[in-house]
Amino acid sequence: MVDTTEHTAALPELKDPNWYALSGDLSGIGFLTIARRLPALIRQALAMAWEAGPRDLVATIVLTLLGGVFTAFGLLATTGALEALFSAGPTPERLKAALPSLILVAAAAALRTALNAGAGWAQARLGPQVARISERRMYGLTSHVELAAYDDPDFHDALQRARSRGMAVADTLVSTTLDTLTAATGIVAAAGVLGVLHPALLPLLVATVLPDGWAAVRSARMSYEVDYALIPARRRKWILSDLMAYREPAAEVRSFNMRGFLLRMHDKIARAERDVLLDVARRQTVARVAGEVLGGVGTLAVYGVLGLLLALGTVPLSVAGTAVLAIRSGQSSLQNLMFATNRLYEEGLYFTDFMEFCAAAERRLPAKSVNDTPISFGRITVENISFSYPGAETAALRGVSMHIEKGEVVALVGENGSGKTTLSKVLAGLYSPGSGRVLWDDHDIAHVDTDQLRHNIAVIAQDHTHWPLSARHNITMGTDKGEAELRAAAAVAGADEVVDTLPHGYDTLLDRRFKNGQELSGGQWQRIAVARGFHRDAPLLICDEPTAALDARAEHALFERIRGHAEGRTVLLITHRLASVRYADRIYVLDGGLVLEEGTHESLMDNKGLYADLYTLQATAYS
């Protein structure tokens, strides 16, 4: 019997599934904290709205305020109409006396409706503009942060929070802010009318909806806390979902009968998530029921006080009728305000995640250039560099030094995990060393604009991306050097043979998930990736396992092409196939993040060290 039980240790996110087991500021979030945060949220929302569409923002605010003015005017005009209708005398005379006030009420209602419609239209225009700005800011940062950020799990959690809700609520936050302004304007209008009619009626507004507001805020806090706590587990669940639904792992899922294992892992997280959500639903229901009960008591008190004022003769019947309308209008506006405020706070929590992620991402952007970018070099020097991945206990590189002369072919070899690829990424400016420096002649690349530096480096990577773009764009990568350069790069890499088999040539979409899309084999993709590197035509070419997906004949042909293409260029070659590095000008052997040996093939073989052992081992396999 096979034991199919998965250890809980494999799912660290579920060790403490209690959604309320949080740290940091969340434990101190209360009503007063919310009240203090709202002004800052409103300022942020209005600033984003101003950036998106200043005219629409001004139109929304002005039309909303004018709508509030006409609301108050209509309520006051109602008093005159009721006073005429409740007066003594024949009905026709009373209707005639009330007619001017009724006309004013109707006119005020019509104008208010028109103004609110105009405000709604201007507000609706802001949504798409704000969404565009937030998306541009998010992806402008995620595509620019230092590469090491993507090796940090905390960065991934913050990114997931920002993307899943934070970025999406930016436009909602703006509209909710404007809804809050609309509701507040309605309350001011109703409160002004009540203050004119009788000051004692004013506090009764708050008593009717304050309990509901408390319940809504408490419910919002619970929702945010559970979303915050579940982010790591949900991210793991989404990854498992991708493994079961995406094409890339589909073959291995079936080959290794992974379906049951993945479903069990997914269900373990889903069950824990379900229990947490059921618990928070129960707590939210209790809060809402308590708020509604207290709100009902407040409403009963409102009409009790109004009846008492009528009985004592403090207010006439016409004023009482207008007061009822004003209270109902005020209650509606106050309920809208509490709903909008609660939503503003709730969405503001997620928006705060977005803003905090953006601020943290800005701190992880590459340093700005302080020197002119070198467009060429005579020598690249690596001086005692060290590098560690976030959270790693041991350094990936430890005091590595080396040099590359212009026009040389230099090889990095070593066993898996020795630091070869990490070193190449440091040389490419993708990772910043923790200590030491990389010099292009006398220029420290830490002080050079990274985008300009990378224009002078071409990378052919083993783990290259299969872009869901046309064959043309998979090679040119958004550059526009012309058709001749495209075809020349493809020919040198052998990718022209691949393109010739495609139904639409260079304009064929290389993604079978889309209509008329085509898929390539691993070796065909490798040739496209090599053409991508050759098309860049940079003075430094970094080849990281460029023949990993090729057969022996294609591998030999590719290395011959690299040698031919490398004339006048500098090549850094990383490979496990040591027969390919025999003709390198210099070979560096890495082991455990250190440079263990250095020299030509002949000198390293004479040294009888690690390189000689690895080379002999591979050569023996072919004997």
Per-residue pLDDT, averaged over 435-464, amounts to 84
DSSP state of 520: -
User: Is the residue at 383 inside a domain?
Assistant: no
Q: What is the pLDDT of residue 19?
A: 31
Beta-bridge partner residues of 574: 412, 544
Residues 6+ apart with CB under 8 A from 617: none
Distance of CA 456 to the CA centre of its chain: 30
Is the CB of residue 584 less than 8 Å from the CB of residue 409?
Answer: yes
Angle in degrees, CA 218, 221, 224, rounded to 5:
155
CATH number at residue 535: 3.40.50.300
353 in a structural domain = yes
In terms of pLDDT, which residue wins out, 384 or 146?
A: 384
The answer to whether residues 86 and 202 belong to one domain is yes
What share of the chain in percent tops pLDDT 90?
11
Residue type, 220: A
Same structural domain, 304 and 237: yes
Chain position carrying tokens 């003769």: 313
The alpha carbon of residue 591 and the mean position of all alpha carbons in its chain are separated, in whole angstroms, by 37
pLDDT of residue 165: 74
Structural domain contains residue 467:
yes
Q: Do 336 and 426 lie in a common domain?
A: no
Cβ atoms 414, 544 nearer than 8 A? no
pLDDT tens per residue across span 429-449: 888 898 999 998 888 888 888
- At 27 the pLDDT is 40
The two three-digit tokens of residue 424, written as one number? 């190449």
Residue 493 to residues 481, 530, 561, Cα–Cα distance (Å) = 17, 6, 7
**Average pLDDT, rounded, for the chain:** 78
| Residues 357 and 400 placed together within one structural domain of the fold | no
- Identify whether 382 is part of a domain: no
Selection from 40, 350, 28 nearest residue 220 by Cα: 350
**Is the confidence at residue 415, as pLDDT, over 80?**
yes
pLDDT reported for residue 26: 41
More confident residue, 276 or 210: 276
Same domain, 427 and 342: no
> Is the Cβ–Cβ distance between 519 and 467 less than 8 Å?
no
Q: Total domain count for the chain?
A: 2
Rg of the Cα atoms in the chain: 35
Q: Which of 180-189, 239-248, 484-493, 603-612 has the lowest mean pLDDT?
A: 180-189
What are the tens digits of pLDDT across the range 533-570?
888 888 898 988 776 656 666 666 666 776 666 667 88
Confidence of residue 410 (pLDDT cuts 50, 70, 90): very high
Digit-coded pLDDT (tens) for 217-242: 777 777 777 877 787 788 788 888 88
Band of pLDDT at residue 591, cut at 50, 70 and 90:
very high
247 within domain boundaries: yes
In this prediction, residues 309-314 reach a mean pLDDT of 71
Half-sphere exposure of 17 (CA within 13 A, CB side): 18
Kindly report the CATH number assigned to the domain that includes residue 338. Answer: 1.20.1560.10
Pseudo-torsion of CA 103, 105, 110, 116, nearest 10°? 160
pLDDT at 378: 86
Looking at the fold, whether 457 and 561 belong to one and the same domain comes out as: yes
pLDDT at residue 492, as a whole number: 84
Confidence of residue 91 (pLDDT cuts 50, 70, 90): low
224 closest CA partner among 164, 271, 267: 164
pLDDT digits (tens, 9 = 90+) for 321-365: 666 677 777 667 776 777 777 677 777 777 888 888 899 999 888
Which range marks the domain in which residue 441 is found?
Answer: 396-621
For residue range 242-273, list pLDDT tens digits in order: 888 877 777 777 767 778 888 888 888 888 88
DSSP string, 516-577: T-----HHHHHHHHHHHHHHH--SEEEEESTTTT--HHHHHHHHHHHHHHTTTSEEEEE-S-
Please, how many CA atoms are within 13 Å of residue 541, restricted to the half-sphere of its CB? 29
If you average pLDDT over residues 89-96, what whole number do you get? Answer: 61
d(CA 103, CA 264): 70
Question: Dihedrals φ, ψ of 349, to 5°?
Answer: -60, -45
Residue-wise pLDDT for 57-68, tens only, equals: 888 888 887 877
Shared domain for 334 and 401, answered yes or no, is: no
Q: Which two tokens stand for residue 355?
A: 């803003």
Residue 21 has a pLDDT of 34
| Pairwise CA distance, residues 522 & 136, whole Å | 34
Q: What is the DSSP letter of 470?
A: B
Q: Does residue 2 form part of some domain?
A: no
